[in-house]
Amino acid sequence: MKKSSLFAAFAFSVLLAGAAQAQPVMRDGVLADAAGRTVYIFDKDSVGKSNCSGGCLVNWPAFVAKPGAAAKGEFGLIDANGARQWTVNGKPLYYFAGDSKAGDRNGNGMGGVWHVISEKPVAVPQAAY
């Protein structure tokens, strides 16, 4: 059973990686694709450069743009891993293979380096010194 679950997650990630998408949109308070699948940023990326490759892309498939897509506003496109990948404020966007349906946010906070983009920033309490 464990092998079939792993295979299903891998197959889903390959499906997402191969699906070119239109510009991201805010949906239910987070940035998502047009179908409502949550997209994430990776803290280890640089502005305009993806640092996720190989095994990383199996778990975090790139959010790839449709051919001829044009970016507007804070959204952009970069050439990464052989595809045109969507960015927000220069940071590349990804899916999480552990999300199985629209609205899932299972990757948020993963490893302390993967995050959703929310429309309302969360206030971080200041430490008292």
Identify whether 126 is part of a domain: no
Identify whether 15 is part of a domain: yes
Identify whether 63 is part of a domain: yes
Identify whether 53 is part of a domain: yes
Beta strands in 20-117 (DSSP E): 25-27, 30-32, 40-42, 75-80, 83-88, 91-92, 114-116
- Residue where the block lists tokens 């200041």: 126
Residue 122 has pLDDT above 60, yes or no: no
pLDDT of 15 reads: 40
What digits encode the pLDDT tens for the residues 66-101?
A: 888 889 889 999 998 789 999 999 999 999 999 999
Identify whether 129 is part of a domain: no
d(CA 105, CA 108): 6
pLDDT of 3 reads: 44
Average pLDDT over residues 48-59: 95
Identify whether 18 is part of a domain: yes
Q: What is the pTM of this model?
A: 0.76
Number of independent structural domains in the chain: 1
Domain hosting 81: range is 2-116
pLDDT of 124 reads: 40
- Residue where the block lists tokens 């897509």: 69
Identify whether 123 is part of a domain: no
Identify whether 125 is part of a domain: no
